[in-house]
């Protein structure tokens, strides 16, 4: 006796539905697996962290930093977004909070001229006895040298554009990473607004905060030769 055609078709459809159901269950298990979840900084860690984001010229070409700042604030991380010309007063503000015990982890991010100002801000903080956990520059527009220490400095630049790799100067301490993103479709004006770049910046900041219990890079003691150098001497060379 031959099987009914409609019954055979119905059985095939049920088998296909079972296969899809199993696949969905497997995908759900992977999605909620603890091993795939990204760890986030604790509230205690973010409470004593501050991220300073320095825009470039005229405050109109670095608005991607505002987006990064808003995303960090959504995580509970305190941020300040300002023009690069404010780097010196921001360093004073950070040093005061650090010495009062309100601040333990300092992170600096800059775009364009804001990135060029980062070594100056790091140098001043170091002279004030304050360590910098992480600094990230996005396409610094002038030749930039690091003469003092941030625990880690990441320079993301466009090698065939106006950006420059950061150089180590005498006395530099810490880890320096130059990341060339030429060929990725980002430009000098768009690098701070690029979604992939923003995700990397935020991920690096989260990782730095997670490491905040570890000792920071030592800074020069008052009265040492490194301390005697002026901010002008520590400024990056310009074309």
Structure confidence by residue, pLDDT tens digits, 158-187: 999 888 888 888 777 789 999 999 999 999
21 in the same domain as 81: no
201 in the same domain as 135: yes
90 in the same domain as 26: no
In a domain, 76, yes or no: yes
**For residues 106 and 212, what is the distance between their CA atoms, to the nearest angstrom?**
10
Q: Which of 41, 48, 176, 51 is nearest to 107 (CA)?
A: 51
48 in the same domain as 17: no
What CATH code is carried by the domain that includes residue 91?
3.40.50.1820
Tell me if 104 sits within 8 A of 49, measured CB to CB.
yes
Instruction: State the DSSP code for 27.
Output: H
**For residues 110 and 72, what is the distance between their CA atoms, to the nearest angstrom?**
15
Average of per-residue pLDDT across 72-82: 96
Spacing of C-alpha 80 from chain mean position = 14
* Averaged pLDDT score across all residues of the chain: 79
Structure confidence by residue, pLDDT tens digits, 182-215: 999 999 999 999 999 999 999 999 999 998 765 4
79 in the same domain as 21: no
Q: Does position 17 have pLDDT exceeding 90, yes or no? A: no
**Backbone φ, ψ for residue 109 (5° rounding):** -135, 135
174 in the same domain as 58: yes
pLDDT at residue 27 in the model: 36
169 in the same domain as 149: yes
Report the predicted TM-score, pTM, of the whole model to 2 decimal places.
0.73
In a domain, 239, yes or no: no
pLDDT at residue 37 in the model: 39
228 in the same domain as 206: yes
In a domain, 186, yes or no: yes
User: Containing domain of residue 81, as a range?
Assistant: 43-234
60 in the same domain as 167: yes
Average of per-residue pLDDT across 69-75: 97
In a domain, 38, yes or no: no
In a domain, 127, yes or no: yes
Tell me if 87 sits within 8 A of 121, measured CB to CB.
yes
Q: CB-based contacts of 203: which residues, under 8 Å, 6+ apart?
A: none
pLDDT at residue 15 in the model: 57
Higher-pLDDT residue of 118 and 237 is: 118
Tell me if 107 sits within 8 A of 208, measured CB to CB.
yes
173 in the same domain as 75: yes
Q: What pLDDT band is residue 19 in, cutting at 50, 70 and 90?
A: very low
Number of domains in the chain: 2
58 in the same domain as 16: no
27 in the same domain as 68: no
Return the sign of the alpha-carbon dihedral for residues 165, 168, 169, 174: positive
Tell me if 163 sits within 8 A of 188, measured CB to CB.
yes
Angle at 56 between CA 74 and CA 230, to 5 degrees: 105
């Amino acid at each position: 006796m031959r099987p009914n055609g409609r019954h055979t078709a119905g059985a095939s459809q049920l088998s296909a539905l079972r296969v899809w159901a199993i696949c969905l269950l497997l995908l759900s298990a992977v999605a909620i697996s603890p091993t795939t979840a990204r760890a986030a900084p604790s509230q205690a860690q973010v409470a004593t962290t501050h991220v300073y984001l320095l825009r470039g010229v005229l405050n109109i070409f670095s608005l991607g930093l505002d987006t990064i700042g808003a995303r960090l604030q959504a995580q509970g991380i305190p941020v300040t977004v300002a023009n690069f010309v404010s780097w010196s007063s921001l360093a004073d503000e950070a040093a005061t909070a650090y010495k009062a015990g309100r601040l333990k982890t300092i992170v600096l991010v800059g775009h364009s001229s804001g990135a060029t100002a980062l070594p100056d801000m790091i140098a001043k903080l170091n002279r004030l006895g304050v360590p910098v956990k992480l600094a990230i520059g996005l396409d610094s527009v002038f030749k930039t040298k690091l003469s003092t220490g941030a625990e880690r400095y990441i320079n993301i630049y466009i090698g065939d554009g106006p950006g420059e790799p950061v150089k180590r100067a005498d006395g530099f301490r810490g880890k320096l990473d130059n990341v060339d993103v030429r060929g990725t479709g980002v430009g000098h004006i768009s690098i701070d607004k690029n979604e992939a770049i923003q995700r990397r910046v935020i991920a690096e900041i989260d990782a730095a905060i997670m490491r905040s219990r570890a000792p920071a890079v030592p800074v020069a003691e008052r009265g040492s030769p490194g301390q005697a150098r002026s901010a002008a001497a520590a400024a990056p060379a310009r074309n």
